[in-house]
Amino acid sequence: MNFIFRKFRNIYKRLENGFQVTVFPEKFSLYPKLQYLHHNLSYSQEGEDMILSRFFENKENGFYVDVGAHHPQRFSNTYLFYMRGWRGINIDAMPGSMESFNKIRVCDINLEFPISDGHQTLTYYEFNEPALNGFCRDISMKRNGSGNYRIISEKKMKTYTLSEILDNYLPNGQNIDFLTIDVEGLDLQVLKSNNWHKYRPHIVLLEDLNRFPISQIHKSDIASFMEKQNYHFYAKSIHTLFFLNKN
């Protein structure tokens, strides 16, 4: 029965892709299979989805939570899995950010909420490069005027905790395979806002802008916090740390 279901699902996805290419050629394209047969297609900024793909290579129909999702495809740690049939929750604070998610990631739960470690009102710094948007004043001031980057607006926003978002939007009985966080300097605060007794993703990956080498990972406040939650350091890209649930 599962084999038949997967077969029909694959047929449906091919028909869906064909329809999109035919009706919206400026937005969608098909890749010749032979030309890209030996390529690994990555959407992440530093290949994080390739590390996750290797870890979850035999898993179907998984579930992710993406905090600081930014864009449905660009720099996305989850889009590759969405294309494979996974589903999840995408969260971003940028006003209007979920419009593109609701068009491209229609099967996901797409939420526009600022996340921090409590209910507070913070200043959101919006850049001409949306990937740099965030609440951390120090980081935003350093980036403002660096190269071509500049702050184009500042907005006051009320923040929510990750645990209350999951309480309200995570489907009943749904386990989280991986949680990915990239919120430009507030990553530790987002971690602290989760209920680690109730919500324990198998893998947690998030940005640490301090860029500690592996030999000094113990100096990372993020690594120390995750160790206390019974997660151990598992892998690393340039900025991203991966933690595996010890349980």
CA 199 from chain centre, in angstroms, equals 16
pLDDT of the residue at 184? 93
pLDDT of the residue at 30? 60
Q: How far is CA 209 from CA 100, 178, 187, 194, 222, in A?
A: 27, 20, 10, 21, 11
Side chain identity at 123, as an amino acid letter? T
Percent of all residues in the chain with a pLDDT value above 90, rounded to a whole number = 81
pLDDT at residue 36 above 80? Answer: no
pLDDT of the residue at 12? 75
Per-domain residue ranges of the chain:
1-39, 41-245
pLDDT of the residue at 42? 93
pLDDT of the residue at 247? 85
Within 10 A of 71 (CB to CB), how many other CB atoms are there? 18
Q: What is the mean pLDDT of residues 86-100?
A: 97
pLDDT of the residue at 28? 61
pLDDT bin (cut points 50, 70, 90) of residue 188 is very high
| Global confidence as pTM | 0.85
Q: What is the mean pLDDT of residues 27-45?
A: 72
pLDDT bin (cut points 50, 70, 90) of residue 40 is confident
Q: 3-state class of 198 per DSSP?
A: coil
Q: Write down the architecture of domain 41-245 according to CATH.
A: 3-Layer(aba) Sandwich (3.40)
pLDDT of the residue at 16? 76
Q: What is the mean pLDDT of residues 99-108?
A: 96
Contact of 115 with 162, CB cutoff 8 Å = yes
pLDDT at residue 95 above 60? Answer: yes
d(CA 239, CA 15): 38
**DSSP for 103-117, written as a single string:** HH-TTSEEE---B-S
pLDDT of the residue at 122? 97
Q: 3-state class of 238 per DSSP?
A: coil
Residue 241: closest CA among 197, 178, 175:
178
Q: Which two tokens stand for residue 11?
A: 């047929």
pLDDT bin (cut points 50, 70, 90) of residue 69 is very high
d(CA 109, CA 91): 9
Name which residue leads in pLDDT, 221 or 37: 221
Q: What is the mean pLDDT of the chain?
A: 92
| From 26-40, 71-85, 126-140, 181-195, the region with the lowest mean pLDDT | 26-40
pLDDT of the residue at 64? 98
